[in-house]
Amino acid sequence: MNAYEDKYLAERTVEDVLHYFGKSLKEARRKYRQFVEKGIKQGRREDLQGGGLIRSSGGDKAVLLGLKREEREKGDARILGSGDFVSTTLEQSERILEKKYLPKRPIEELIEIVAGKLGLKPELICSGSRQKKIAEARALVAYLAVEETGHKTTDVARILGIKRVSVHHAAKKGQKVLLCR
């Protein structure tokens, strides 16, 4: 890779990178894995530490200091990419952390709320019934519990009496149900 290609690494796709390692996808993946393993065995290298916005600008802080505040890109040493990508990644990370650490409504309470709104008995939601209204209620609970309040799918599955993988499907369906109401 030359210096020109190196500057645009953040815009590369997996295929763009792998084509440097082999002609077929299988061969390229194998050689890439070997390349990474070899690098790991080298351990930490001072010349490869740090990074972020200063490193992206060629290590010259003066280049960044000469720009007006609105012209500077957002940077973070942990994230390789453009300022927009860094901003989006940090926002997504913040939302995930909020879900994880905010006080959660108990799943049982979500079941009560959904049952009340739909005029159902709460125990019907956990009954395993395939009746459309009950299945939609279960899907709403799965969506609210996993996506909105950050409960683990295993906990939701246990309480709803369904498999963990079914919680993912139900949550997707629940989001659609919610959007249609």
What percentage of the chain carries pLDDT values higher than 70?
72
Which pLDDT score is estimated for 85? 81
pLDDT confidence band for 43 (50 / 70 / 90): confident
Q: At what angle do helices 132-143 and 164-180 cross, to 10 degrees?
A: 100
Average pLDDT over residues 46-53: 57
- The per-residue pLDDT for 137 is 94
Residue 21 DSSP code: T
* DSSP-assigned letter for residue 77: T
SS3 content of the chain, % helix, strand, coil (to 5): 65, 0, 35
Average pLDDT in the 102-111 region? 86
Task: List the chain domain ranges.
Answer: 1-48, 50-102, 107-180
Q: pLDDT band at 47, cuts 50/70/90? A: low
Specify the pLDDT at position 76: 66
State residue 118's pLDDT score: 93
Torsion sign over Cα 92, 98, 99, 101: positive
Q: What is the CATH number of domain 107-180?
A: 1.10.1750.10
What tens digit of pLDDT does each residue of 130-139 get? 999 999 999 9
Task: Give the mean pLDDT of 108-119.
Answer: 94
Section 18-44 average pLDDT: 86
At CA 164, angle to CA 130 and CA 103, rounded to 5? 105
What is the mean pLDDT of the segment spanning 153-167? 92
What's this model's pTM, rounded to 2 decimal places? 0.50
Helix 153-160 to helix 132-143 angle, to the nearest 10 degrees?
150
pLDDT band at 48 (very low <50, low <70, confident <90, very high): low
